[in-house]
Amino acid sequence: MGLIQELESTKAETLKFFELTDEELDKSYEPGKWTVRYILHHLADAETVLFERIRRVISEPRQVLWALDQDAWAQIAGLCQHTFRAIKADLRIRAGGDNSRCSLAL
């Protein structure tokens, strides 16, 4: 399977998790660990960061790519406070063929 097909398959598999019930989204494999909802927020944020990095590498000479402390970002951003529906809608738009964002995984 080629890279593009692999990414499309991963995207389709990942988007299915956005259809889980609230109870399923709030499960974690162990107390104190990230919930499914939190992981989906993280994936959406990570894709955004990756997109920005790729864009900079392609378009800017001698660009600086800053490190991302995902745990610190999660606390600062208050991921669980974001509207899950808005993130889901954003990912659906990107997954629906809007190549202006060049969505890779989600």
Closest CA relative to residue 35, chosen from 47, 48, 26:
26
Give residue-wise pLDDT tens across range 85-94: 777 777 766 6
pLDDT value, residue 93:
67
pLDDT value, residue 29:
92
The topology under which CATH files domain 3-95 is Four Helix Bundle (Hemerythrin (Met), subunit A) (1.20.120)
Give residue-wise pLDDT tens across range 65-84: 777 777 777 666 555 555 66
pLDDT value, residue 78:
57
Q: Sorting pLDDT into bands at 50, 70 and 90, what band is 95?
A: low
Q: How far apart are the first and last CA of the chain?
A: 18
Mean pLDDT of the chain: 76
- The 3 state secondary structure assigned to the chain is CCHHHHHHHHHHHHHHHHHCCHHHHCCCCCCCCCCHHHHHHHHHHHHHHHHHHHHHHHHCCCCCCCCCCHHHHHHHHCHHHCCHHHHHHHHHHHHCCCCCCCCCCC
Whole-prediction pTM value? Answer: 0.66
